[in-house]
Amino acid sequence: MAITNNDTIKTPAGDPLAPEPAMTDETEKNPALDFPIHWLRQTSPYINTHRGKTFVVWFSDSLIEADNFTTLVHDLTLLSHLGIRLVLVHGMRVQIDAELSRRQIASQYGTDSYSKRRMRITTTESLPAITAVIGDIRCQLESAFSTGLPNSPMSGAQISLMSGNLIVARPYGIRDGVDYQHTGELRKLRVQKIRTLLNAEMVVVLPPIGYSPTGEMFNLLSEDVAMQAAISLTADKLIFLHSDAGSIGSNLHEISTSDEQGKNEEQQFADSISSVIERSTYACKNGVNRCHIVDANNPDALLRELFTRDGSGLLINSGDYDNIRLADTNSVQGIMALIKPLMADGTLTHRTEQDLERQIDSFYITEREGSVICCASLQIANNAAQLGCLAVHPDFRASGKASEMLDHLIKVARQKKCTQLFGLSTRTGDWFLEHGFKEGSAELLHQLQRAENTRGSKLFVLEIR
Ligand SMILES: CC(C)(COP(=O)(O)OP(=O)(O)OC[C@H]1O[C@@H](n2cnc3c(N)ncnc32)[C@H](O)[C@@H]1OP(=O)(O)O)[C@@H](O)C(=O)NCCC(=O)NCCS
């Protein structure tokens, strides 16, 4: 059913973050009327952030066969229409095994003692099966992206997929006496050609196949192709849509390359997930901003990961936050220098140096060349965290420093099992609202403040998972 203006549920004008309207009898009868207009509004910051960015999206072989493959194609089409430059890499292990078995050729694998990786031995005899699988998957992708029925999400889509000899490969070679024959490694990517295709608004498909300068064809690991493509293109995101991502569990949302080691020791993942975490970490350390591991079995997971603050998968970041750290007594002078003018003009609550020294364990700072350029305090009690004293040096404003600090504090609060983050503000209400907070009730404000609210601050509350 088409949704018309008359069907939409009105939220208060000018308040994009207004609470979700209660279901009325009418919406209960007709779910199409429950179209989440406010959700659409909330996505606009993400739409703006993602526009013009390059995402390398890897998806597992089993997804190509799954019922939700069509949903993935719709979602990728939506991303492309939102101005995201897409490079798609697919796995094909399952399809190759099936094709080899159909041709009564045994699948052969080897594990070399150095990399410990289990690699297919791509014999000359198996090459026709592999080229058949590549051709088949390519046709499936091209046909899926070509559908444009008027009543489907693909209506008027006109997405052009492009593929070709874009990967230069070399042989994996002979290891521990085993000749891997046509199994190869990525040697380099034709980056300029790929950029030209992306600039022409094409979606680039990179099957895990490469060619050597001698014209030989090599079968590559698709996860490596995705990782190398993301690094070579300095992609903004590398996304693994993985069928085993459910094994990550719902408690782990984010790994920073700086604390990845510790997290891996605590957490047991499926081997396939450990290997994509490893590749994501490598990609992050080599110029890719963020990597996401998203559950391929959940049809909503990709959009939820990209267009909601909480996401749905595991985010591995490049340690953007490396320079955010807990303050110590040596930071008191730097914090004081930053907040003094803001206390003087009444933006921030007054604190003396002694107050700061007493509270220093709750302060986080961002430093640049030894100077404190951003600070905030985080106080935790009863599963709730309170953000305070947020300030960014005037020279560094509007470059995302406060947003990064907020993301970091949300991560800390989550680790400490908090479910809500509070902020009090007299002048920065809009900033809080724009970052997903909602205005809290006067009653809650009263409970929280206990002491007098002489500044007349407003309370802002963010629900965190
Ligand atoms: C508010 C503050 C922390 C934001 O820091 P920042 O690093 O510039 O923030 P970000 O880069 O993450 O976000 C910048 C956006 O916030 C907006 N913003 C800044 N101050 C704002 C305010 N008082 N109200 C609403 N929006 C504000 C900017 O205009 C910018 O939006 P734009 O990109 O659409 O122009 C910084 O301006 C500051 O230190 N202000 C003085 C101290 C203060 O008010 N602290 C909050 C006390 S609760």
CA 395 to ligand 1 center in whole angstroms: 12
| pTM of the complete model | 0.66
- Map out the domains of the chain as residue ranges: 52-318, 322-463
Half-sphere exposure of 345 (CA within 13 A, CB side): 6
Predicted local confidence at residue 250, as pLDDT:
66
Mean pLDDT value across the chain: 84
CB of 431 within 6 A of ligand 1: the answer is yes
User: Residues 111-140: what's their mean pLDDT?
Assistant: 92
Rg (alpha carbons) of the chain, rounded to whole number: 26
Is the beta carbon of 339 within 6 A of some atom in ligand 1?
A: no
- Tell me, in angstroms, the distance from the centre of ligand 1 to residue 373's CA: 13
Task: Find the helix or strand (DSSP H, E) in which 175 lies.
Answer: strand 174-175
Q: In this model, does residue 173 exceed pLDDT 60?
A: yes
Edge to edge, the sheet with strand 438-439 lists: 324-326, 363-368, 371-381, 384-392, 420-425, 458-463, 438-439
* pLDDT over 60 (residue 69): yes
Cα 326 to ligand 1 centre (Å): 21
CATH number, domain 52-318, options 2.40.50.140, 3.40.1160.10, 3.40.50.300, 3.10.105.10: 3.40.1160.10
State yes or no: pLDDT of 257 exceeds 80: no
**Best mutation site among 421, 431, 453 for ligand 1, i.e. most ligand atoms within 8 A of its Cβ?**
431
CA of 319 from ligand 1 middle (Å) equals 22
Residue 9 predicted with pLDDT over 50? no
**Does 86 sit in the ligand 1 pocket, CB within 6 Å?**
no
Looking at the chain, the whole-number percentage of residues with pLDDT higher than 70 is 84
Q: Is the pLDDT of residue 14 over 90?
A: no
What's residue 369's pLDDT? Answer: 62
Please state the CATH superfamily assignment of the domain spanning residues 322-463 in this structure.
Gcn5-related N-acetyltransferase (GNAT) (3.40.630.30)
The closest residue, in CA terms, to atom 40 on ligand 1 is 391
Average of per-residue pLDDT across 241-249: 83
Q: State if residue 84 touches ligand 1 by the CB under 6 angstroms criterion.
A: no
Task: For the chain, give the percent of residues with pLDDT over 90.
Answer: 59
Per-residue pLDDT tens digits for 420-455: 999 999 889 999 999 999 998 877 777 766 554 567
Instruction: Give the residue, by CA position, lying nearest to ligand 1 atom 43.
Output: 391
Residue 211 to residues 84, 125, 186, 323: CA-CA distances in angstroms?
Answer: 28, 18, 9, 42
CA nearest ligand 1 atom 32, residue: 398
Average pLDDT over residues 75-84: 94
Mean pLDDT of 74-97: 95
Instruction: Pick the residue whose CA is nearest to atom 19 on ligand 1.
Output: 431
Output the CA 398–ligand 1 centroid distance in Å. 7
345 Cβ below 6 A of ligand 1: no
Ligand 1 atom 10: residue of nearest CA:
400
372 ligand 1 Cβ < 6 A: no
Closest residue by CA, ligand 1 atom 29: 398
Residue from 53, 41, 59, 40 nearest 82 by CA:
53
